[in-house]
Amino acid sequence: MAPSLRLLLALLCAAPAFGLPTSPYEVKESVNPPHGWVQHSTAPPEHSIELRIGLPQPNFGILESHLYEVSDPDHHRYGQHLSKEEVEELVAPHPGSLDAVDEWLAFHGIQEEDISRSPAKDWITLSLPVELVEKMLDTKYHVWKHTKTGDYIVRTTSYSLPIHLHEHVDVIQPTTMFSQFKPFRSTISKVEAAPATSATDSLGSLVNPATGLTIDASCNVTITVSCLQQLYNAVGFTPSAKGNSIGITGYLEEFASIADLEAFFVQQVPTAENSSFKFVSVNGGINNQSDPGFEASLDVQFAFGLSHPIPPTFFSTAGSPPFIADDDTPTNTNEPYLNWLDFILSQEKIPLSISTSYGDDEQTVPESFAKRVCADFAQLGARGTSLIFSSGDHGVGDGDSNPATQTCFTNNGKNETKFIPTFPATCPFVTSVGATDNVAPEVAVSRFFSGGGFSNYFSRPSYQDPTVPNFLSKLAPGTFEGLFNPNGRGFPDVSAQGDRFEIIVGGQAFLIGGTSASAPTVNGFISLLNDVRLSKGLPSLGFLNPFIYKKGFAGFTDILSGHNSGCGTTGFNVTKGWDPVTGFGTPNFGKLKELVLETGA
């Protein structure tokens, strides 16, 4: 070989990989379409896709170490949460990744003015037509139809990137994500007209044998704010609200009516009359007062009713993934959830506790995407915010069928039968909430089944090591062998009442149930606990799980009856201590307020 040719080859090999925008393509990610989705037609070439590119976070391990230190009640740094700027510095991508991706985008005619970047520059967002995205990702998009719901989405089952880009890109969506992000409330048949008698009418009293607390017998029929205060030992507590805050997320055009909230307050929380919430629009989200939703009403009425007068915020994020196949004007088909994360992470001040009553089967969310979203949750926890999620309403099964008849097939192309965990409840950086029923004693909810089990994506976090193996040791040898991942993150962490909540929608009273009720309930009580700490000059609780698993469990009432059916099985049984049905049980505010003052004081 001539010297000049050898020199040229040497220079090419030594050049940065990002200088080769036309390097050969290689598959980055591929999936089998989840059950129920069928290919409908070719995606219109002009259809607009809001493409999101997640760049690697090389220092995320350092952020995770900080998160656990500031969340460990026995660590000297407990409560020393990080600032927005400190978190952004730790999740920023390497400059080489930024250069590589920017050059690839420029190669396809995309300039800086076409790009939106997250504050840490770890996410890139850009709106592009399908035909260009197909060229960039060497793929083909199709319109897919869900046979049960009739929803349409624009997705591909595989995409590729130039080989040199693989190390510079974690994830690109929407590509392979077939998630049907939805509220975790029981099916609409569970929403029924409230009884003619007022929920506050007394039917005598009952004593919870586990706590010794007296509760109105009417709470076995209808759950009100007063019932929750009685059941969870918070009667008579009034927060100061100084420096505190609480938030609720709203999606999929679920709107929260101010008039309905006022009517709810008149009926159940008279001290909150003439108060409301701060409304925050995310990505153009609205709050249509003429179209109140059951989910939004449930969330804001109970979370804000329990926590009044702590300043409340309702976030409405625009975006509804289904695509109308015969619409002449193509619309966005991205999931709205990441829009909220982009927004909240860019804010200097964020609520100290936030609950979300939405999610989906973990297997419908590509693992790469789930892990990046989970990493974003870690950022919020490091900044001092408690994130609370519903665990789901379909036991150990999927959300597409009756728990008693679910087949629970995997999406790995093998059609294996396995339990189907729920995301985002399986993320180890959030607190997952299951559901209970009855008041004397409480049991795992029976009208539907509290979501719970073990993640197939996330390994068991260290804070669960002293606890979850104890539950697994109680299972008879071979129980559900091969149906779940015993090394996965177990969920839920805790639970709360989740059925027959009386809410006001469109001026009328209804009863509603689901872990969608349990999550805002726990949110309300965490907000009260934050108030206890803030009133003593202590920081907010932040990421809850290390505290709960190390000390806080002593402030929860163990649930000892029930199970969570699904996949043609009875699911897991409730046991003494933590279990993947009700977690550590339900809150005892009187005990918890003492425990949170013993920590980090």
- 582 pLDDT more than 80: yes
For residue 349, give the CATH number of its domain. Answer: 3.40.50.200
In a domain, 442, yes or no: yes
The number of domains in the chain is 2
Strand order in the sheet with 152-155: 37-42, 142-146, 152-155
What letter does residue 174 receive in the DSSP assignment? Answer: S
Which of 131, 150, 178 is a domain's end point?
178
- Determine the Cα–Cα distance for residues 125 and 114; give it in Å rounded to an integer: 9
Domain identity same for 163 and 199: no
The residue segments making up the domain with residue 102 are: 16-57+92-178
Domain identity same for 149 and 289: no
Q: Give the per-residue pLDDT at 532.
A: 97
592 sits in which H/E element: helix 589-598
Domain identity same for 246 and 300: yes
- 467 pLDDT more than 70: yes
Of 491, 547, 513, 544, residue with least CA distance to 436:
513
Where is average pLDDT lowest: 32-41, 52-61, 184-193, 307-316? 184-193
- One-letter amino acid of 22: T
Looking at the DSSP assignment, which residues form a beta bridge with residue 146?
37
Inter-helix orientation angle 367-382/337-345, to 10°: 30
pLDDT-derived band at 580, boundaries 50, 70, 90: very high
- 308 pLDDT more than 90: yes
Q: Give the per-residue pLDDT at 194.
A: 62
- 192 pLDDT more than 70: no
- 328 pLDDT more than 70: no
In a domain, 330, yes or no: no
CB-based contact 164:100 (threshold 8 Å):
yes
Domain identity same for 52 and 140: yes
Domain identity same for 199 and 104: no
In a domain, 2, yes or no: no
Domain identity same for 169 and 195: no
- Determine the Cα–Cα distance for residues 502 and 302; give it in Å rounded to an integer: 9
- Determine the Cα–Cα distance for residues 20 and 166; give it in Å rounded to an integer: 13
Domain identity same for 348 and 477: yes
SS (H, E, C) 416-449: CECCCCEECCCCCCCEEEEEEECCCCCEECCCCE
Which of 115, 148, 178 is a domain's end point?
178
Burial (CB count <10 Å: 0-12, 13-18, 19+), residue 209: exposed
Of 265, 306, 261, residue with least CA distance to 279:
261
In a domain, 9, yes or no: no
Where is average pLDDT lowest: 99-113, 171-185, 350-364, 522-536? 171-185
Calculate what percentage of the chain has a pLDDT beyond 90: 77
pTM of the model: 0.92
Q: Give the per-residue pLDDT at 338.
A: 85
In a domain, 391, yes or no: yes
- Determine the Cα–Cα distance for residues 276 and 422; give it in Å rounded to an integer: 32
Domain identity same for 192 and 115: no
Which of 148, 178, 208 is a domain's end point?
178
Q: Give the per-residue pLDDT at 334.
A: 54
- 317 pLDDT more than 70: yes
Active site amino acids: 295, 299, 516
Domain identity same for 416 and 563: yes
Q: Give the per-residue pLDDT at 550.
A: 97
Q: Give the per-residue pLDDT at 320.
A: 60
- Determine the Cα–Cα distance for residues 466 and 344; give it in Å rounded to an integer: 33
pLDDT tens for residues 208-220? 999 999 999 999 9
CB-based contact 600:79 (threshold 8 Å):
yes
Domain identity same for 204 and 163: no
- 568 pLDDT more than 70: yes
In a domain, 333, yes or no: no
Between these two residues, 147 and 246, which has the higher pLDDT value? 246
Domain identity same for 247 and 137: no
Q: Give the per-residue pLDDT at 404.
A: 57
Q: Give the per-residue pLDDT at 553.
A: 98
Is it true that the peptide bond before 441 is cis, omega within 30 degrees of 0?
yes
Write the CB contacts of 290 (distance below 8 Å, at least 6 apart in sequence): none
pLDDT tens for residues 272-301? 999 999 999 998 999 999 999 999 999 999
Where is average pLDDT lowest: 117-126, 266-275, 314-323, 449-458? 314-323
Q: Give the per-residue pLDDT at 129.
A: 94
Q: Give the per-residue pLDDT at 447.
A: 79
**pLDDT mean over 14-39:** 75
In a domain, 559, yes or no: yes
Total residue count of the chain as it appears in this document? 601
Place of tokens 């153009």: 284
Strand order in the sheet with 508-512: 192-193, 508-512, 501-505
- 5 pLDDT more than 90: no
In a domain, 98, yes or no: yes
Write the CB contacts of 1 (distance below 8 Å, at least 6 apart in sequence): none
pLDDT-derived band at 600, boundaries 50, 70, 90: low
Domain identity same for 38 and 187: no
Average pLDDT, the chain: 89
Of 166, 169, 153, 175, residue with least CA distance to 31:
175
Calculate what percentage of the chain has a pLDDT beyond 70: 89
- 515 pLDDT more than 70: yes
**pLDDT mean over 549-565:** 97
CB-based contact 151:322 (threshold 8 Å):
yes
